[in-house]
């Protein structure tokens, strides 16, 4: 009986070690994949969401200022014709 328990303990320890190795391999693969994706994205000169939103806000402000200046010019031209 003692031999059977020892064999079961050895198998259990082997399985535990195998799970640890598998977990380590999984973590290493995830790290490598994330690094590869980061490099790929950096090579594409993509912008972050924050950068995109900032530029969009600047463009919106510029459009609003342009419309205000256009209205002011029209008002000045109308006043000059009178």
To the question of pTM greater than 0.75 for the whole model, the response is: no
Q: Which residue is it, tokens 């010019």?
A: 73
Reported as a single tens digit per residue, the pLDDT across 33-45 is 999 998 898 888 8
Helices (H), ranges, the chain: 2-43, 49-81
Q: And the tokens for 63?
A: 């459009």
Reported as a single tens digit per residue, the pLDDT across 52-80 is 999 999 999 999 999 999 999 999 999 98
Q: And the tokens for 42?
A: 């950096």
């Amino acid at each position: 009986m003692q031999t059977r328990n020892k064999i079961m303990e050895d198998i259990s320890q082997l399985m535990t070690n195998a799970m640890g190795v598998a977990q380590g391999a999984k973590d290493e693969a995830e790290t490598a994949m994330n690094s590869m994706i980061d490099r790929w994205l950096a090579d594409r000169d993509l912008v972050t969401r924050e950068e995109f939103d900032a530029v969009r806000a600047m463009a919106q402000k510029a459009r609003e200022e342009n419309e205000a200046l256009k209205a002011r010019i029209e008002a000045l031209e109308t006043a000059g014709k009178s």
